[in-house]
């Protein structure tokens, strides 16, 4: 005896068979209520009016035979478990009904109260389980369709699309009907199809994969696949979740190129180096042809405090300048290390929220330029000194020669050359006169040079005496 209470509908037109079934039920399921219908029509009326837990159905009835009888009741109430009652000769037909949705079948002539009761209990429990599975599947389909990520359900082995959600339709540009006529490999690039299949479907394991897909408009995208095994309508299938990572990969590639460019520039920075510092002025990264501490390399300097390599006075100066950068300013300043001189440029590195946690430093050795500038200044000073000496020499020479030269010129003017008859004396006097005049021209040239050198550039204006007097 089983202490379960069920509403049991027996659809049987043979009175003898019905009485036998009823006796079996009353013997084992004593708390159950039994309803009887001799036709499918009567059974439909009872199902409409009463909550039936299980139907015991004979397939040979006045208004239905075989599978048609089963489908009539099943279509009326698919949620009610049906147990088929059959004879020895109808077991093949009973097996067919199991494929259509019957929970069990019982051969009436080979049954017993216990077998019938267990069949009813198992049938009801199986029906509940199937109902839960159906509701779970419907809930899954609901979540599947409304998931914001593109999702596909695929047939294992053939990669045929079984389902595609609305996000997939929108993202790829195909309609759901078009997807159902395609296989998953139709989305891949031709040269990646084989790899795609091997990577995604050759094993029974779930996992992830990165491949390229082609949309309906021929746009090529990078996708990350989430691959999962699922049970769909009783079959083991594959669930594919699509993450479009095109923009992410593009950003990563741009970042990689930027980092490569930055590294190339840094490592080939002439006469200096590039460094990235954090708020504690710790060197996070550095590279270049020459570092601010001679004889070191990036491995030695990284993770050290930048200012620790200078003497106290220089360290304080450098820190004050770099503090400006963390306040959002750029700075350029000079700093020395031992006998070397460096020019340091620093700019802030802004985060997405515009905060500054790092700064970029460019350090260049200007010791040679400083040395050249010093030598140039010394040379200019020496040239100026020499120039002053030359000017002084010219001044002294011109003025010291002017007085005796003027005397000689005066004597020449007073000398009467016509009264000298001696040819030799006349020749000597003539040569004396020519040399004196030549010397006079040379002295005049020196004086003119001094006048030009000392002349200050002035602007000439016409002076009106009456207007000037009126202002007084």
Looking at every residue in the chain, the average pLDDT score rounds to 81
* 148-244 CATH fold: Beta-Lactamase (3.30.450)
pLDDT of residue 37: 92
pLDDT of residue 385: 76
Averaged pLDDT for residues 26-36: 88
β-bridge pairing 235-244 and 151-154: antiparallel
Q: Is residue 445's pLDDT more than 80?
A: no
- Residue 327 near residue 304 (C-beta atoms within 8 A): no
| Cα–Cα distance for residue pair 278/350, rounded to 1 Å | 12
Q: What is the pLDDT of residues 161-217, one digit of tens each?
A: 999 999 999 999 999 999 999 999 999 877 655 455 554 554 445 567 788 999 999
The CA-atom distances, in angstroms, between 384 and each of 278, 378, 392 are 50, 10, 12
Q: Work out the pLDDT band at 468, boundaries 50, 70, 90.
A: low
Looking at 3.30.450.20, 3.40.630.30, 3.40.50.1260, 1.10.3470.10, the CATH number of the domain 256-365 comes to: 3.30.450.20
**Higher pLDDT, residue 9 or 369:** 9
Averaged pLDDT for residues 1-29: 85
Q: Is residue 442's pLDDT more than 50?
A: yes
- Given the structure tokens 């503090």, which residue do they identify? 323
**Higher pLDDT, residue 38 or 440:** 38
pLDDT of residue 11: 92
Using DSSP's 3-state secondary structure scheme, residue 274 falls into: strand
Averaged pLDDT for residues 2-12: 82
Q: Work out the pLDDT band at 55, boundaries 50, 70, 90.
A: very high
Q: Work out the pLDDT band at 9, boundaries 50, 70, 90.
A: very high
pLDDT of residue 245: 92
pLDDT of residue 157: 84
Alpha-carbon dihedral angle through residues 108, 112, 116, 121, given to the nearest 10 degrees:
-160
pTM: predicted TM-score of the whole model, two decimal places: 0.47
Note the CATH number of domain 7-137: 3.40.50.2300
| Cα–Cα distance for residue pair 369/374, rounded to 1 Å | 9
Q: Percent of the chain beyond pLDDT 90?
A: 21
pLDDT of residue 202: 45
pLDDT of residue 203: 43
| Cα–Cα distance for residue pair 119/85, rounded to 1 Å | 11
Q: What is the pLDDT of residues 99-128, one digit of tens each?
A: 888 888 888 877 788 888 888 888 888 878
- Helix%, strand%, coil% for the chain, nearest 5: 50, 25, 25
pLDDT of residue 270: 67
Sign (positive/negative) of CA torsion 325, 327, 329, 331?
Answer: negative
**How many residues are there in the chain?**
472
The CA-atom distances, in angstroms, between 107 and each of 80, 89, 121, 284, 352 are 20, 9, 17, 83, 76
**Higher pLDDT, residue 188 or 258:** 188
Helix (H) or strand (E) holding 163, with range, is: strand 161-164
Boundaries of every domain in the chain: 7-137, 148-244, 256-365, 371-454
Q: Work out the pLDDT band at 335, boundaries 50, 70, 90.
A: confident
Q: Work out the pLDDT band at 266, boundaries 50, 70, 90.
A: low
Averaged pLDDT for residues 271-299: 79
Residue 266 CB burial class (10 angstroms; 0-12, 13-18, ≥19): buried
Q: What is the pLDDT of residues 136-155, one digit of tens each?
A: 777 778 888 889 999 999 99
- Residue 239 near residue 150 (C-beta atoms within 8 A): no
The alpha carbon of 122 is separated from its chain's Cα centroid by a whole number of angstroms, namely 57
| Cα–Cα distance for residue pair 315/214, rounded to 1 Å | 58
The alpha carbon of 352 is separated from its chain's Cα centroid by a whole number of angstroms, namely 13
Same fold for the pair 148-244 and 256-365: yes
């Amino acid at each position: 005896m089983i202490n379960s209470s069920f509403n049991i509908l027996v659809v049987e037109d043979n009175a003898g068979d019905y009485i036998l079934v009823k006796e079996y039920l009353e013997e084992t399921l004593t708390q159950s209520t039994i309803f009887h219908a001799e036709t499918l029509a009567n059974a439909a009326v009872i199902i409409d009016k009463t909550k039936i837990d299980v139907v015991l159905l004979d397939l040979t009835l006045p208004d239905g035979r075989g599978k048609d009888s089963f489908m009539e009741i099943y279509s009326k109430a698919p949620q009610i478990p049906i147990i088929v009652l059959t004879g020895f000769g109808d077991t093949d037909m009973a097996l067919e009904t199991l494929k259509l949705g019957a929970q069990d079948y019982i051969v009436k002539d080979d049954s017993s109260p216990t077998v019938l009761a267990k069949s009813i209990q198992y049938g009801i429990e199986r029906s509940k389980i199937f109902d839960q599975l159906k509701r779970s599947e419907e809930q899954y389909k609901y979540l599947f369709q409304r998931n914001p990520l593109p999702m596909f359900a695929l047939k294992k082995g053939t990669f045929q699309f079984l389902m595609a959600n609305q996000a997939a339709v929108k993202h790829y540009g195909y309609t759901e009907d078009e997807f159902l006529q395609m296989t998953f490999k139709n989305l891949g690039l031709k040269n990646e199809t084989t790899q795609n299949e091997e990577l995604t479907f050759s094993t029974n394991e779930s996992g992830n994969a990165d491949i390229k897909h082609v949309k309906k408009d021929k746009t090529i995208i990078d996708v990350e696949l989430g691959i999962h095994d699922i049970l769909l309508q009783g079959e083991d299938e594959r669930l594919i979740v699509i993450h479009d990572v095109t923009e992410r990969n593009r950003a990563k590639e741009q970042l990689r190129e930027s980092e490569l460019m930055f590294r190339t520039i840094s490592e080939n920075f002439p006469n200096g180096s590039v460094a990235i510092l954090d708020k504690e002025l710790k060197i996070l990264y550095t590279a270049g042809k020459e570092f601010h501490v001679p004889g070191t390399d990036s491995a030695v300097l990284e993770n050290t405090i930048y200012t620790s390599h200078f003497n106290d006075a220089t360290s304080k100066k450098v820190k004050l300048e770099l503090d400006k950068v963390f306040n959002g300013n750029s700075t350029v300043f000079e700093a020395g290390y031992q006998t070397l001189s460096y020019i340091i440029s620093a700019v802030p590195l802004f985060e997405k929220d515009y905060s500054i946690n790092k700064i970029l430093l460019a350090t260049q050795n200007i010791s040679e330029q400083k040395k050249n500038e010093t030598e140039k200044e010394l040379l200019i000073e020496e040239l100026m000194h020499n120039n002053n000496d030359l000017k002084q020499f010219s001044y002294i020479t011109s003025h010291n020669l002017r007085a005796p030269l003027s005397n000689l010129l005066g004597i020449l003017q007073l000398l009467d050359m016509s009264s000298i008859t001696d040819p030799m004396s006349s020749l000597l006097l003539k040569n004396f006169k020519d040399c004196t005049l030549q010397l006079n021209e040379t002295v005049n040239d020196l004086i003119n040079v001094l006048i030009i050198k000392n002349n200050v550039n002035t602007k000439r204006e016409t002076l009106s005496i009456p207007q000037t007097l009126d202002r007084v």
